[in-house]
Structures are given as C-alpha cells and as structure tokens.
C-alpha cells in the first residue's frame, strides 16, 4: 500500500471510517514460547505512542474509529473503554458504541469569580456521569452447543503439536500454533480442519476463521 496515497486520501476526505485491529496490530509482539497463554496475553500491551495516535484519531470529528478484535468484551473495555470509539469483540459477535465524555460541573469556576456560594451552586448543578455504553450481541440467538466437542478436538491437537494452545472465548474457541514449529503447525492445522468439518461442526451454524497461525470456529 502506498503510504503517500493513503495520506492524500485521508486528508482529502470529509468523513472517514477508521477500522483498527487489536491483537498484533495495536499491541506489541510477544515472543515467549516457554510461557503459558495467559502469561503471554498479559504481556501484550498497547504501546503508549500507539494509544496516543488512536486518541488523536478520536479527536477529529470527521473520524469514526472502530477497534475490531477477536478478544473478549472485558479486554476491550479494559483497554479502550474510556475512548469515544466503536468496539467489536469476538470478531464482531458483540459491538459497543463509543463512550461519551462526562460533562463538567454546571457553572464551574463561577464561585472563584466572586459571589458567595458560587462553588456550591456549581456542585449542586453538576452533571451526572453518563452511563457506560452497553455491549450488544448482533445475533438474536448464539448457538454454542458445538463448543464442547470442538474443545476435545483442540485438546487432542495440542497434545500432538508442542507449544500450541487453546484460547477459550464466550462464543468461540481458537487453536493457536504461533509458537510451534511453523511447517509442522501448518500440517497439523490442515489435519485439524478435516477433523472439524467431518465431525463436531459438520452440521453446526459455524464458520472457520483461519488466521496466520490459528484456527477459530465462530458462530454464524
């Protein structure tokens, strides 16, 4: 992608939709194959300079910023919940509208200009903090009956594939082999897909999301 062309298109547009990935896009890469998955996930942080750039994008009224991720809702709330951005968790199964900034006290500062009780009037007229935006599921019903049998298949392939691991989410499971031998991991991934399509998800309302080094059945 031509960076200069992107800059020209950005500066020349009046309205912009900016969709950003989270894992491995806004986060720092963690190469720690000897660690457990939960430890690796805890080490993955958003670089402060990257977060500052996201904040600057949010301040432009011409921008609508969306953070799209396979992560769970609680993780996105923790990292981006204070920002006026749209959040999409678990690959779009759950969405959350932007947070709104709290209004300052009505009449703030008037007490300092003189007039007894000005500060008290400001406190009494303080605007309540807006309620936190709520997550909504894009499906009327999410069928997850298939997850238990898929977990058994994933556990089997974890035993066969050293340094692979499973990430359990509310509506999906991810088998990840990013720390395994690359070629062996790819062979195992192909074998895993055959097991899934002919077994636990053969008749389930599920799609397979194939990442660079991961396999994720997700509800349709």
In a domain, residue 49? The reply is: yes
In a domain, residue 108? The reply is: no
Q: What is the total count of domains within the chain?
A: 2
Residues 191 and 160: their CA atoms lie apart, in Å, by 11
* Predicted confidence (pLDDT) per residue in 163-218, tens digit: 999 988 889 999 999 889 999 999 999 999 999 998 888 888 888 999 889 999 98
Domain, as residue range, for 42:
3-98+133-137
> What pLDDT shows up at residue 129?
53
Residues 193 and 129: their CA atoms lie apart, in Å, by 48
Whether residue 17 sits in one domain with residue 93: yes
> What pLDDT shows up at residue 33?
52
Residues 69 and 206: their CA atoms lie apart, in Å, by 18
In a domain, residue 142? The reply is: no
* Predicted confidence (pLDDT) per residue in 46-95, tens digit: 888 899 999 999 999 999 999 999 889 999 999 999 899 999 999 899 99
| Between 107 and 137, residue with greater pLDDT | 137
* Mean per-residue pLDDT over the chain, rounded: 82
Beta strands 86-89 and 63-68, pairing class: parallel
The CATH number of residue 43's host domain is: 3.40.50.1000
Whether residue 19 sits in one domain with residue 85: yes
Whether residue 87 sits in one domain with residue 16: yes
In a domain, residue 27? The reply is: yes
Residues 90 and 6: their CA atoms lie apart, in Å, by 28
Does the pLDDT of residue 151 top 90, yes or no? yes
pTM: 0.71
End-to-end CA distance of the chain: 31
In a domain, residue 111? The reply is: no
In a domain, residue 199? The reply is: yes
pLDDT band, residue 125 (cuts 50/70/90): very low
Q: Quick one: which of 75, 84, 86 has its CA closest to 27?
A: 75
And the tokens for 37?
């998955």
Whether residue 93 sits in one domain with residue 8: yes
In a domain, residue 157? The reply is: yes
Does the pLDDT of residue 38 top 80, yes or no? no
In a domain, residue 106? The reply is: no
Tell which of 137, 157, 191 closes a domain. 137
| Between 33 and 212, residue with greater pLDDT | 212
């Amino acid at each position: 992608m031509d960076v200069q062309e992107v800059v020209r298109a950005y500066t020349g547009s009046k309205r912009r939709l900016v969709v950003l990935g989270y894992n491995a896009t806004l986060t720092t890469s963690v190469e720690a194959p000897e660690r457990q998955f939960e430890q690796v996930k805890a080490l993955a942080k958003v670089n402060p300079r990257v977060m500052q750039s996201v904040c600057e994008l949010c301040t432009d009224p011409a921008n609508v910023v969306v953070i799209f991720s396979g992560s769970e809702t609680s993780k996105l709330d923790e990292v981006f919940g204070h920002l006026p951005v749209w959040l999409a968790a678990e690959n779009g199964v759950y969405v959350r509208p932007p947070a709104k900034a709290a209004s300052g006290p009505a009449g703030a500062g008037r007490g300092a200009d003189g007039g007894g009780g000005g500060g008290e009037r400001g406190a009494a007229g303080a605007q309540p903090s807006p309620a936190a935006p709520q997550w909504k599921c894009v499906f009327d019903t999410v069928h997850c009956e298939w997850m238990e049998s898929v977990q058994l298949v994933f556990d089997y392939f974890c035993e066969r594939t050293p340094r692979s691991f499973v990430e359990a989410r509310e509506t999906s499971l991810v088998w990840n082999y990013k720390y395994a031998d690359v070629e062996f991991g790819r062979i195992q991934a192909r074998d895993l897909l055959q097991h899934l399509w002919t077994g636990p998800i053969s008749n389930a309302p599920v799609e397979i999301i194939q990442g660079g080094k991961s396999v994720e059945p997700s509800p349709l």
